[in-house]
């Protein structure tokens, strides 16, 4: 049996919003958005708000990181999965847990105290940089880009 049909994994600290729910989902042809985040998996109100921006043809699932690791391999081949995580540590935990992440789109990582801004939408600290380097060692393609029409660049070139 082949692995799950993960079209793309995206880091976006906003998780599902217009850009993710419409632009990326349509571009990829995804019919399922899986949000892997421990906090949101327990927050039905936030889930309902995020579901409002998804087209009717796209389903959503909100799983903890561990549940994602446990169930992603049971996905039907018909499920064209767009996997969304909040930060690079979550992406690394999933990859190290056996989730087949080959391509990682880095969309949004907001600035906060102690982080340096490396693009208009991405700020990182030493912990983030170490996680990106580890993902690179695991042969994950690291593509920084906000929307599909932008030209992506390897985030390691900016660190």
Render pLDDT for 50-88 as a digit per residue (tens, 0 to 9). 999 999 999 999 999 999 999 999 999 999 999 999 999
Residues assigned a catalytic role:
17
74-84 b/e (C-beta count within 10 Å ≥ 16 → b): ebeeebbbbbb
pLDDT for 22-58, tens place per residue? Answer: 999 999 999 999 999 999 999 999 999 999 999 999 9
pLDDT on residue 3: 86
SS3 letters for 30-46?
A: CCEEEEECCCHHHCHHH
- Quote the pTM value: 0.96
> According to the CATH classification, is domain 6-158 in 3.30.2130.10?
no
pLDDT for 99-149, tens place per residue? Answer: 999 999 999 999 999 999 999 999 999 999 999 999 999 999 999 999 999
- The domain ranges of the chain are 6-158
Which tokens go with 66? 């561990």
Q: Where are the alpha helices (DSSP H) in the chain?
A: 18, 25-28, 44-51, 65-71, 88-96, 126-137
32: β partners: 59, 81
């Amino acid at each position: 049996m082949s692995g799950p049909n993960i079209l793309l994994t995206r880091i976006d600290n906003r998780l599902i919003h217009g850009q993710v729910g419409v632009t990326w989902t349509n571009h990829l042809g995804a019919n399922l958005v899986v949000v892997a985040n421990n906090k949101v998996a327990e927050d039905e109100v936030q889930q309902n708000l995020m579901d409002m921006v998804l087209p009717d043809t796209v389903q959503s699932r909100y799983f903890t990181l561990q549940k994602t690791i446990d169930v992603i391999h049971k996905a039907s081949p018909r499920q064209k999965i767009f996997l969304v995580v909040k930060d690079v540590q979550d992406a690394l935990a999933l990859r190290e847990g056996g989730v087949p992440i080959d391509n990682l789109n880095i969309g949004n990582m907001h600035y906060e105290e102690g982080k340096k801004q490396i693009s208009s939408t991405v700020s990182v600290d030493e912990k983030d940089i170490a996680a990106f380097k580890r993902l690179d060692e695991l042969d994950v393609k690291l593509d920084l880009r906000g929307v599909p029409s932008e030209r992506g660049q390897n985030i390691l070139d900016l660190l």
